[in-house]
Each structure stands twice: as structure tokens, then as C-alpha cells.
Structure 1
């Protein structure tokens, strides 16, 4: 295995091992490693990969690691980085499943999980605001994500329709409106 594959596997294994809260909480750490430290992709390309990873089925962290790996080394890179991201969670869940019955009624373990929840909310909120700033979302155009969230939550609109409408809107904007601005 070449040095790149080992380095990329170790990088994403470390991200998968030490990040709590799932894909959104991993975004700033992945960005720090991939954009700032290793310079495997640029900031703009990373933001585009996040958008694509969010709209694809599956786990966002694995999607983004696969996209970065594919961008750098095609299928082998995608497999290497996706495996590095998924393996820690798999091993941890396997260990928990093997020993959970011993801890399921433990008050200390329950308290630990209650304490982790606010930290996870913060880990998700920070990259959301950073992405909004990078995507140049301002107060004048923040109505779009708010309207989408309300349509899904209050009106029961399927997220699939929201994604399709956003895709068509983005295409129309990029093809016809943005060139004239």
C-alpha cells in the first residue's frame, strides 16, 4: 500500500474515531485535515462536496470521505478513505453491542450520554454557521433554508421535493441568472 493510501486511511480513521455527533460534527475536523493540513482539496471544492454528500443517500461523513478519495485516487482512494471513516464506528458499536447489557441501567453511563447531547448540538451548529458564511448566505437570502425547513416540518412536504426544487432552482440560477449579475 502506497504512502498516500496509508496516510489518508489514518487521517480518516482518526476523524472517525475521535468525533462525536455524526457527519455534521465531523465537518470542521475533515475540513481542517483535508483543506488546511493536507491541502488535498480547496475550500470551495470542499463546500461543493459537502452539498453533494448531503444530497446523496447514506452517512454524510462516509459520503464526503468517499468523494474526496475518489477525487484524489478514484475508486481505490474512495474505498480507502470511506473505510477509514466507517471502521472506528463499526468497531465501537460492535464493542458496545457486546457489553451493553452490563451497562444499560447504569446511572453514570446515562448521565454521560445526557452530558454529551449539548456538545453535539454545538458541534453541529458551528459548521452550519461557517458553511453559511462561506456560501455567502446573508439575512436577505436566509429565508430559503428557513422556508424549506418550515415546509418540511409544518406542511409535511417531502424532503425529496425540496431537494428537487433546490436542484432546479440552482440550475436556473447558475445558467440564466448568475451570468447576468
Structure 2
């Protein structure tokens, strides 16, 4: 029970200080789960992140469920999910109750503008971290270029791009005679 509470509190704290959704949460997840708690490796978190992007729902919730489930099974997954959505529920309820009174306030507008800049920096940090871990050879650069162009030019579903990239990665490693990691 103590570890379930620890899972809940860890994700609750991360969610309470993360603005900008799942992408902005990656550096915080990495620091808390990998460096501080030492619950798993950075590669494992990135794997969970990649799979979560292809699943329905919110990326951060999916990742919290995966991590919690790995730690303590289904109850751990539930604890992670509840921890990650808890602060959002409180904040959204508070904002919904009082936003009409504050939405035109210049201080509130300026605060949200500042938060948007901060979130952009956090997302860029996540992109750089993912690039360093994921794009490690010519095959990675090729997949990145094809997926990027595919997204920009065709508007293909991310699910299609993720599945196609996975298949390409498996096939290209097999053809190259490399071992699948």
C-alpha cells in the first residue's frame, strides 16, 4: 500500500507543476522516475512515451499507467492514472468556477502568455532529449525525415506513422543483419 501511495504522490506532484501536457512532462518524468526514484531506465520511459503516443487518450496518463503497472500491477497503474489527473481535476474545477471573473484581467492574460513560452521551452527540451536517444544512425535520420515530411505534406494519422516506423525499423534491422534490441 505504501508503494501505491508513493506512485500516486509522485505523479500528483509531477502533474501539479507541469503545464503544457505530456510533452512538457517528459523532462520531469525523466528526472523523477529515472534519476530520483530509479524506478526504470530512460530508454524504458522513452519506449512508454512512444507507445503512449499511438494509443488513444492523454499521453501523460498513458505513461503514468504504464509506469504504475510496471511497479505494482493494475493497482499501480490506477494509482499512477489518479495521481496524474488529480491536479488537473482540481485546477479545471477552480478555473471553471472563477474564469469568467478573470479572463479579461491583463495579469491573467500575461501569466498565460508567460506559461506558453515556458511550455515551449520544455517541449523543445523534450524534443532534443528524444532526438539524442532516438535518432542515433542513418536509419533514424531517414525515418525522421520521412515521418516529418509525411506529417507536414499529407496529414497522415500519427498512428499510421508510428506503426509504419515500427515496421520499417524491424525490417531494416533484420535486413542489415543486426540484432533486434
TM-score using structure 1 length: 0.89
Quote the Cα distance in structure 1 between the aligned partners of 2:155 and 2:135.
28
Tell me what 2:149 maps to.
150
Deviation larger for 85-94 or 104-113: 104-113
RMSD of aligned alpha carbons: 2.0
Unaligned runs of 5+ in 1: none
Quote the Cα distance in structure 2 between the aligned partners of 1:37 and 1:168.
34
Q: 1:110 to 1:164 in 2, by over 3 A?
A: same
Contact 2:8/2:83, CA 8 A, preserved across alignment: yes
Tell me what 2:87 maps to.
88
Correspondence list, 1:23-172, <5 A: 23-137=22-136, 141-172=140-171
TM-aligned CA deviation for residue 45 of structure 1: 1.5
Deviation larger for 170-179 or 117-126: 170-179
TM-aligned CA deviation for residue 138 of structure 1: 5.3
Q: 1:54 to 1:118 in 2, by over 3 A?
A: same
Quote the Cα distance in structure 1 between the aligned partners of 2:128 and 2:86.
29
Q: 1:163 to 1:139 in 2, by over 3 A?
A: closer
Quote the Cα distance in structure 1 between the aligned partners of 2:117 and 2:49.
23
Deviation larger for 100-109 or 9-18: 100-109
Deviations 1:32-82 (A, max 9, x none): 111111111122222211111122111111111100011111100000011
TM-aligned CA deviation for residue 161 of structure 1: 2.5
Q: Secondary structure at the match of 2:176?
A: helix
Quote the Cα distance in structure 1 between the aligned partners of 2:158 and 2:11.
29
Quote the Cα distance in structure 1 between the aligned partners of 2:23 and 2:65.
16
State the aligned residue count.
180
Quote the Cα distance in structure 1 between the aligned partners of 2:86 and 2:162.
30
